[in-house]
Amino acid sequence: MARLGAAVNIITTDGPGGRTGFAASAVCSVTDDPPTLLVCLNRSASVYGAVTSNKVLCVNTLTAGHQALSQLFGGKTPADERFAAADWSVLSTGAPALDDALVSFDCVIESTVAQGTHDVLFCRVVSTASRAEGKALFYFDRAYHAV
C-alpha cells in the first residue's frame, strides 16, 4: 500500500464526542451529485469514538508546508496540542476547518460500511472553503512530496 500515493488530509470533528482529528491519505471523491467523499477510519484509532459520535467531519487537504502539522495529527500528540499548532475556523457543521488548507470539505457522515479493520465513511459535503494557490502535500513510498 505504501506505493499507492495520495494527498495528505487532516480529518477533524467536533460535537458531543469531543474535538479531535487525525491525518489521513485514505480519502477520495465518490460523486459530485450529491457531493460525497469517502474517508477510511481504523476502528481501533483513538479518534474513532468521537468521529462516529459526532457524525460530522471536515476533510482539510494539506499544502506542502503542512508536513509538521500532518506529523502532529498522525502521532500520539494530545488533541489540544494538535489544534494549537494551526489556525482553525468552522464552516457549517462545527468541525474545525484549517484556515490555510488547500481546500476544506465540511461534511455530514451519511453512511458507514465496515471493511476489515476500518470503517468506510460516506460523507456528504455541505460546505467548502479553498485557497487559490499552494502545492499539495502528497504521501508516497513512506515519504512526503510536494505536488
As beta bridge partners, residue 126 has: none
Q: Give 10-56 pLDDT, tens digit per residue.
A: 999 999 999 999 999 999 999 999 999 999 999 999 999 999 999 99
Classify residue 49 by its DSSP letter.
H
- Half-sphere exposure of residue 66, counting CA atoms within 13 Å on the CB side? 29
Q: How far apart are the first and last CA of the chain?
A: 19
pLDDT digits (tens, 9 = 90+) for 115-129: 999 999 999 999 999
| Residue 133 neighbours by CB under 8 Å, 6+ apart | none
The rounded distance, in Å, linking the Cα atoms of 4 and 75 is 21
In this prediction the pTM is 0.95
